[in-house]
Amino acid sequence: MSSDQTFLNFSKEEDIPGPVTKDLLALRKEIQHHDVLYYDQATPRISDREYDRLYGELLALEKKYPTLITKDSPTQRVGERAQGFQSGRHHVPMQSLENTYCEEEVLDFIKRLHKLLPNNLISESREAASNDLALSIDSGKRDHSTLSTSCSLSPSATVTTDSKKEDPAEAPIALTLEPKIDGVAISLLYRDGIFVRGLTRGDGTCGDDVTRNLEVMPMIPKKLHGMAPSLLEVRGEVYLSKKMFLTLNAQRDEAGLPVFANPRNAAAGSLKQLDPSIVKERHLEAIFYGCGALEGMLMTTQTELIEKLRAWGLPTHESIECVRTPQEVLQGIERLGTIRHDYVFETDGAVLKVDSFAQRARLGSTSKAPRWAIAFKYEPEQATTRLLGITIQVGRSGVLTPVAELEPVFLAGSKVSRATLHNEEEIRRKDLRIGDAVVIEKAGEVIPSVVGVIYEKRDGTERAFHMPTCCPSCHGPVTRRAKEVALRCLNDHCPAQLRRRIEYFASRHAMDIAGLGEAVVAQLIEARLVHNIADLYHLHAEELLVLERMGEKSVHNLLKAIDQSRRQPLWRLLVGLGITHVGVRAARMLAEHFHTLEQLSLASIQELCAIEEIGSVMAQSIHDHLREPAMQQLLAAFKKAGVHFGENDPVLVVQQGPLQGTIWVITGRLSQSREAIAELIRSLGGKISLSISAKTTYLLAGEDPGSKLARAQKLGVSVLEESRFREMIGA
């Protein structure tokens, strides 16, 4: 017997075929391999659907041959712990949920609930809810009670059992329905309202202590609002918004680093950083929806728990739907499926939970999952097409990125004809060949991604792809830096790099030079009118008039826009310089702190780290970039061309402004651009935030405000229309 087989519990009475044992061992080994990739390295190689298929096969084998089940089996463990962190024990085990992709199994779940719950318990739970017995605060007249996710009743609690069952249609069970966030499960521990520790799920019993990383997340309160329980173990998900996912992957791609497969893996990779400043820079967010241990208070339903979490200042789902009948359940799941793309986070399903904690206690749980909840997972939106070719795109830092040229196909509401392949390693891992029939989906519901090859459709005409040995733009040498998977062009004067740098410099979020689009930039470089970004400020009308589609009016407008950009505020110049990790938010903070580029250039790493939300990684990047010889030459050329370095910027924050100390979120259509109104708020002492939280002072809502309005109303944040805002500032 092999070493892998020694842990199996063979039964003498049961004759188990040899192939079954081999299949079971192979499945366990494959699943354990993917668990390491998913939990520890945050680099999954297969989709959730494929993983669930493998897991289902193992589950079916173990169900048929129960004597082969062991504690080491993936079916008996919740998750894995990462390396490099201290371990902490959950007060109440942190279980996972059973998944299904099938509506029939959701209906079977509801039937099981009715089979396991006596009708009088259903009635009592409804009566308790209607009598508003949601919260009993310990006042010394009763013992402290503990509420857990497994909802075990204390020995003193009694439930009358009655073999008589009501028809499910006559006695519906109250359920809650909420979106399933594709994030990283966490558990926060509060004592007397003070945050003391945060753990990942880990193996369900013990998790990684990521307290220092969670402490830098602004939406996690260090102290709960109002009357808090003596002990609270709150459960939720840490996630990376879809917008930040795009930003982070673009930065990593440009730096030649491996990109994240989806927002969930980006969040996991961020949370597992040993340096909290990296977590701070990536703007992780969180949502909470349950609890483990709870002492000093007694709650009876999930609905009431959510309301209490909100009151304590913990972010929760914007809306949790209450459903009772099977028809309402299926309609709710379908409704969530149609709006899930509107959420700022990625969601891959809907979670259905029994609302009553008394009913949950009666239902209990298995060793891995509660019987009172189930997750319905939506099938990923995929399409089949053909890989027509692979082209190479050269980025502004010289990174060579392979791009899949696809037979156009509609996916998630838009036509897709191209998808990034990131690097050569990705192509080899997926065994992609030109001519292959491939499956594509949108990673993070945004970026087209090639999932894999349909091997059975290969006919032998497919061709392997090899990365070029020289830059396809300048034909210069390419190389790989240490610890990088990407190839990089070494020529700083490469036309493709220059084109990308100018496009980025002129973009709306940087120097905002209207009329300097891709086509014009390409012509400028091809005509050798610009050799670096600073040459833009030395262009003349007669040079531009010979370019295609450039008449006198177009040339006049372009030169005017370039001239106006000389006086753009410092933060826009900092964005335009393309410093790794520095986006709009970081650039604003740097400009507000140092006021001029000269002062910023003199700053030490320690001085940079002292600024809010500037961590060690970003500080090192800023420090190094501004001292590179090529950057020094560019800045000198800018200075000579009359580009402002912040010395003429107005004071960005008025210390005694009428909005001093307020935090604003802007949403909807207003009479001015959001950026213009944000500048106005900052000039009057206010701060701008991208998301609603308990710390938000005002939501400025224009037409079509979207989900932020509902979020603000639920958190009790003051909502202002533009007219009221103008009155407030005396405009």
Do 201 and 340 fall within a single domain? yes
């063979």: which residue's tokens?
A: 10
If asked whether residues 357 and 386 sit together in one domain, one would say no
Residue 450 and residue 408 in one domain: yes
Question: Rounded to 5 degrees, what are φ and ψ at 177?
Answer: -125, 125
What pLDDT is attached to residue 315? 92
Q: Kindly state whether residues 114 and 203 are assigned to the same domain.
A: yes
Task: Give the type of residue at 454.
Answer: I
Which mean pLDDT values do the consecutive 10-residue runs of the chain (731 residues) have?
38 56 79 68 62 77 78 63 72 91 93 85 54 34 34 33 43 91 94 94 89 90 92 95 83 71 84 80 90 91 94 88 94 90 86 95 88 90 92 92 93 82 86 95 71 92 94 94 84 92 92 93 94 96 92 94 95 93 84 92 92 82 93 95 90 64 88 82 82 84 82 85 88 59
Angstrom distance (rounded) from CA 154 to CA 648 = 69
Q: What DSSP designation does 109 have?
A: H
The amino acid occupying position 353 is K
What φ, ψ does residue 62 adopt, rounded to 5°? Answer: -70, -30
Dist. CA 334–CA 331, nearest whole Å: 5
Q: Give pLDDT, residue 246.
A: 81
Q: Is position 180 annotated as part of the catalytic site?
A: yes
So what's the pLDDT on residue 311? 92
Relative to beta strand 463-464, strand 433-434 is antiparallel
CATH of residue 706's domain is 3.40.50.10190
Q: How many CB atoms lie within 10 A of CB 545?
A: 12
Q: One-letter amino acid identity for 471?
A: C
The predicted structure's pLDDT at residue 554: 93
Q: Please give the pLDDT value at position 669.
A: 84
- Is residue 557 one of the residues assigned to a domain? yes
Task: Please give the pLDDT value at position 122.
Answer: 63
CATH code at 413?
Answer: 2.40.50.140
As for how many domains the chain has, the answer is 5
**CATH code for the domain in which residue 145 is found:** 3.30.470.30
User: What does the angle CA 325 – CA 329 – CA 333 come to, to the nearest 5 degrees?
Assistant: 170
Is residue 280 included in any domain, yes or no?
yes
pLDDT of residue 312: 94
Catalytic residue among 71, 164, 180, 272: 180
Cα separation, 23 vs 4, in Å, equals: 12
Decide if 449 contacts 381 (C-beta within 8 A).
no
Quote the pLDDT of residue 661: 83
pLDDT of residue 262: 80
Domain range for 416 is 382-483
In a domain, 650, yes or no: no
The string of pLDDT tens digits covering residues 192-201 is 999 999 999 9
What's the pLDDT at 503? 94
Between strands 663-667 and 687-688, the pairing is: parallel
Q: Helices in 199-275 by DSSP H: which ranges? A: 211-215, 242-254, 263-271
Same domain flag for 38 and 7: yes
Q: How far is 265 from 34, CA to CA, in rounded Å?
A: 13
- Same domain for 205 and 339, yes or no, is yes
Query: Can you give the pLDDT at residue 132?
Result: 37
The CATH number covering residue 32 comes to: 1.10.287.610
- Assigned domain for 556 exists: yes
Residue 12 contacts by C-beta under 8 Å, 6 or more apart in sequence?
A: none
- Crossing angle for the helix pair 518-526 and 495-506, nearest 10 degrees? 140
Q: Are residues 190 and 217 both part of a single domain?
A: yes
3-state helix/strand/coil string of 493-560: CCHHHHHHHHHHHHCCCCCCCCCCCHHHHHHHHHCCCCCCHHHHHHCCHHHHCCCCCCCHHHHHHHHH
What backbone torsions phi and psi does residue 133 show, to the nearest 5 degrees? -95, 40
Report residue 688 as tokens. 């701008």
Burial 507-522 (b: 16+ CB within 10 A, else e): beebbbbebbeeebbe
pLDDT the model gives residue 437? 96
Q: How far apart are CA 372 and CA 364, in angstroms?
A: 7
CA dihedral of 364, 366, 371, 373, whole degrees rounded to 10: 120
